[in-house]
Amino acid sequence: MAPQTKRTLEEGESLLEGAKALVLDIEGTIAPISFVKEKLFPYVRENLESYLSTRYDEEETQADISALRALAAKDKEEGKDVVQLPEKEDGNKDDVIKAVVSNVNAQMDADRKTKELKDLQGHVWRDAYKQKRIEGELFEDVAPVLQQIAEEDFMLFIYSSGSVEAQKLLLANTADGDITDMFMGFFDSTQGPKTESESYKNIQKRISEEQEVNAEEILFLTDSPAEAKAACGAGWQAVLVDRSMEQEGGIELTEEDKQNFMVIENLNDLFGEDDDEDEAYGGVKRPRLEGNGECDGEEDEDDDEEGLEGEDDEAAADFGEEEEGAEDDEEEEA
């Protein structure tokens, strides 16, 4: 598909016009990638054994272990070389915990995004947030801009590869306080891989259960061109958020990406520019959404999902959990 001419930021004043719902990615878009890679993931590696030892007999922990055990057995049947988990028996607590730690570390090394892994990670992080051992990090512009947009009656949602629980934990424990009440819903990879258009169609159906929203009335913000393309394949509008000036290790946008999609560097850019600066930044614009670049409803099925989360999109939990179909995605986001 021939790329369109790159739009100028002046045209960005129309980014919100016609939109009813904004769906945001987390890692690399509203939260620094370093938060996931350098704080969340290392925390699990360093504290998983003690977490399991302390809560071994709790129902939730045993459910997490059982899920990982079943996954390991399934992986073995499929010929994968994975650490198997022994059944729980009297006196073998240490053996089970050792196997779980090895299995989880191996999955994280392989950047797998299984629901079983993401659920356990989310529970470990929940404990860490509760003990104030970690605090959610957002880019400085995120909370004030989203507050303003929410007050203008836009519907806000999150779509991250991390589990819904992990998403809520991060947003409930930020330096700006608990901002979860700004959002009407949270979606994770149980809706499908983030690089497949069908996932975005599933989310639109869920959103429309509360209020009728057409595909073209949904604006998706992400740092991943592959995710933006998938969203456009579902009829959504998509904008790339380039945080390269604020962080290292993010997805490097190509010239083609910049031609195919509107690119902003800050959520304030959603408001665009206006002769009256106070008006431009004091009130949300509602301009047209005429489609940008590859947002023509088509999806390139040959796209390789590997590394597209950036991971991005993970993190965060990698937040959590991507289905096995997206296991090859690179670690992200949140």
DSSP 126-148: HHHHHTTS--B---TTHHHHHHH
The pLDDT, as a whole number, for residue 249 is 82
Residue 101: predicted pLDDT:
98
Flag residues of the chain having pLDDT under 50. 1-12, 274-293, 296-334
Token pair in block for residue 204: 């639109």
Helix, coil or strand: residue 70: helix
pLDDT at 120: 96
CB 200 within 8 A of CB 183: no
The pLDDT assigned to 210 comes to 83
Q: How far apart are the first and last CA of the chain?
A: 31
Tell which residue, 298, 323, 292, has the closest CA to residue 309.
323
Amino acid symbol at 243: R
H or E, element range at 221: strand 218-222
pLDDT at 272: 72
For residue 161, CA distances in Å to 157, 251, 280 come to 13, 16, 33
CB atoms within 10 A of CB 128: 20
CB 133 within 8 A of CB 51: no
Q: Which pair of tokens denotes residue 234?
A: 């579902």
Residue 219's pLDDT is 97
133-164 pLDDT, tens per residue?
A: 999 999 999 999 999 999 998 999 999 988 99
Which pLDDT score, from 0 to 100, does residue 271 have? 85
Q: Are 156 and 284 in contact (CB under 8 A)?
A: no
Q: How far apart are CA 268 and CA 287, in angstroms?
A: 15
Tell me what pLDDT residue 273 has. Answer: 59
Given this model, what pLDDT does residue 27 score?
94
Task: Supply 86's token pair.
Answer: 């022994």
Residue 105 has a pLDDT of 97
